[in-house]
Structure 1
Amino acid sequence: MQRYTKPAMLLHWLTAILIIAAFFLGLTMTEIHGITPTKLKYYSWHKWLGVTVLLVACVRVLWRKANTPPPPPAGMPEWQVKAADGVHYLLYFLIFAVPVSGYLYSCAAGVPVVYLGLVQLPSLIAPNPELKPVLKSVHYVLTMTMAGVVVLHALAALKHHFIDRDDVLKRMLP
């Protein structure tokens, strides 16, 4: 069985954990009514997670370009190979698009992003009350799309493991 490299596994699972944490933190913080210290703290943490996802994604893409992933298992139908490739490309797009859209939403709202409470990131656009709700909607739609694609990705991995009984999932497990 050909496996992914240890760094590829680390980057995959780190990305997954960060995205899941940011997703559930986002759901939690938006359910808090009004502006409270807890809500503001959660928003900061959510932004930190988003910036971290973006940074890890950059490293992940560089690693992937330099290290060829293992080929699909022998005998895997061509449509499944193409579907897996499509899902991976979509996931990579969303791993970048979701944090960027959230960052632009913060900029349009006039709320600075201070990474880890230490480094204020530059505002890429000026505060814009007209653009703010558009970017909020874009961030939400991209996030929910990512959630659906992540679930599909996980279900496909489980299908390969329990139904097809091939090594697709095992190749990414440490």
Structure 2
Amino acid sequence: MRFRNTESAFGLIAKLFHWLVALLVFGLFGVGLYMVDLTYYDNYYQTAPFLHKSFGVLLFVLMVARVLWRWTNTKPAPLATHTSFEIKVAHVVHLGLYLLLLSTILSGYLISTADGRAIDFFGLFPIPSVTGNIDQLEDYAGSVHEILAWTIIVVVVLHVAGAVKHAVIDKDQTLRRML
């Protein structure tokens, strides 16, 4: 397997980015759902947000690297069986996912740093607040973060449905190119 993409196939790096981001998104979503119901006396009251923030920062780093990789790499051509409508829908869904992910990460950063405190990245180093202490920022950013996270899940369901359609109904190579 090649590291870089070709005109007909995704390379190992693009596939790793895809699946690592998918794993992180589902993990972050699950932890996010879990931690909103934690009370002060729960065992993971401190640990769950710490991990959610750290993995969110890791997702940001992966997304920046993924975007740079995509810009500097060959993009595999659509399969000959893809209609122009499918190509346009795929483009909109992919662009939407990238924008949603980056916006969700930004809103998470704003929630975490709204009081002026840094994010502790896995206990290794702090990521400082650029906002200082802004009244009600945490609440506004929290509402945006929740809406964006649920929107990501909806768009991911559409993305997966498209991949399944290509594998089961069209019986083409679309899904296999990312495996």
TM-score normalised according to structure 2 size: 0.91
Matching residue of 1:95: 101
* 2:117 is aligned with 1:133: no
C-alpha displacement of 1:109: 3.9
Matching residue of 2:126: 120
C-alpha displacement of 1:127: 2.0
Identity %: 37
* 2:113 is aligned with 1:107: yes
Q: Which amino acid aligns with 2:29?
A: F
SS in 2 for 1:38: coil
SS in 2 for 1:106: helix
Moved over 6 A (4+): none
Matching residue of 1:59: 65
SS in 2 for 1:129: coil
Gaps spanning 5+ residues in structure 1: where? none
C-alpha displacement of 1:150: 1.0
Matching residue of 2:21: 15
Out of 160, 164, 167, the residue aligned to residue 161 of structure 1 is 167
Greater shift after overlay, 157-166 or 103-112?
Answer: 103-112
C-alpha displacement of 1:81: 0.6
**Greater relative contact order: 1 or 2 (C-alpha under 8 angstroms, separation 6 or more)?**
1
CA distance in 2, matches of 1:126, 1:142: 24
* 2:137 is aligned with 1:148: no
Q: Give me the CA root mean square deviation.
A: 1.5
Q: Which structure features the higher share of helix residues? A: 1
Gaps spanning 5+ residues in structure 2: where? 1-6
Give yes or no for contact 2:21–2:62 (8 Å, CA) kept in 1.
yes
Matching residue of 1:86: 92
SS in 2 for 1:127: coil
C-alpha displacement of 1:36: 3.9
Out of 31, 37, 48, the residue aligned to residue 42 of structure 1 is 48
Q: How many residues align?
A: 173
